[in-house]
């Protein structure tokens, strides 16, 4: 299953972030890394679940997780 980074809206509260994580798990996702500098977390999702989660009211963006290399 692919991994994604879920970024929440800047004005999302702690309770809304918690609710977004709970919704991700309910939709078959598994929470991985939780970021502290930005309102975001990693989730491992079945492919067909991501499009449903993108419609969550506090989600700003979802992008496929990938390795970043500095050259």
pLDDT band at residue 51 under the 50/70/90 scheme: low
Instruction: Indicate the pairing of strand 59-64 with strand 40-44.
Output: unpaired
**Residues 19-44: pLDDT tens digits?**
999 988 988 889 999 998 999 999 99
Which domains, from first to last, does the chain contain?
3-61 (3.30.70.80)
Q: What angle do CA 56, 32, 24 make, to 5 degrees?
A: 25
Mean pLDDT of the chain: 86
- Model confidence at 2: pLDDT above 70: yes
């Amino acid at each position: 299953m692919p991994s994604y980074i879920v970024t929440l809206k800047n004005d999302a509260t702690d309770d809304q972030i918690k609710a977004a994580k709970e919704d991700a798990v309910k939709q078959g996702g598994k929470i991985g890394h939780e970021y502290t500098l930005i309102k975001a977390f990693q989730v491992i999702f079945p492919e067909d679940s991501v499009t449903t989660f993108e419609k969550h009211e506090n989600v700003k963006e979802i992008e496929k997780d990938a390795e970043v290399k500095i050259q």
